[in-house]
Structure 1
């Protein structure tokens, strides 16, 4: 039996999270064998986690960690594991490994928003775009720019439509840029 560290459990978790103590080894199930009981050993608050904490999760590479920290800095909070797993398109086996380590605390005064499927700005019909509650002239600019070339991301949308930061912030998590429509190439800016 492995020897336990003399520190109390909270101090042990802090040292494990910072890499000063090794994390406990969790046995992987063998085909046909019984499922091992998995103790998380450490947990993290998803809505306050650092890049280093994200990187401790199995299969969480630097790109995923950077994305999650950028979203967090932009004010995005996750209310449940399914939202996080859906955003990252995590396979079920990886999601199962992450789940015991995740804690979801809501921070701030903003109420939880009802879950609504993101609006694909590159494919949504004009009627669907009314969900944005934008003035007609802004919606017409969106449609005109989209016909020229699909939007790549929020930054591209902001630049091409000259949107204020507050408008872009309100779109985080509400829109996506699935399939980009092919359009004519735009001449380079001169």
Structure 2
């Protein structure tokens, strides 16, 4: 049978421990913090391979202008890459370069080619109906037809000077128009009347 403990026992025990006559109770163990290993920071930016722009490609380490140009031209032609191996074979990438590029490449498959490039409109041979697609006002279209009948346009600077077009209009036309030799009047057919707006 256990001997009953006196109510002063805890107090007496603390006094004896404080005076050093009894050993102090062990301190509760501190929780051990989990080990955290320093890991290198991973740069996680990615480019969508089948939609990447020229500047996107140049972000990849060691990608040259020629490689970026080739990839963008292929993309415009509807070529798509299904994996890093396709890209590596095309560009003849070293194993080291493949390894550097791999974390930054995202491969998605698209049913449509990116930004189909419309053929430039030949201003020296375009019909009135075709000219309306450029967004020029009816007055500017009439002036263009009148000037073109006098002499074909040489280039976009000639167009700007002869039609007195502001820089903003010319900037909108860059890449959308070209200037071929004028077709003979017998083969060009009659001009369609301009739509009133």
Q: Calculate the TM-score normalised by the size of structure 2.
A: 0.36
Which structure has the larger Rg? 2
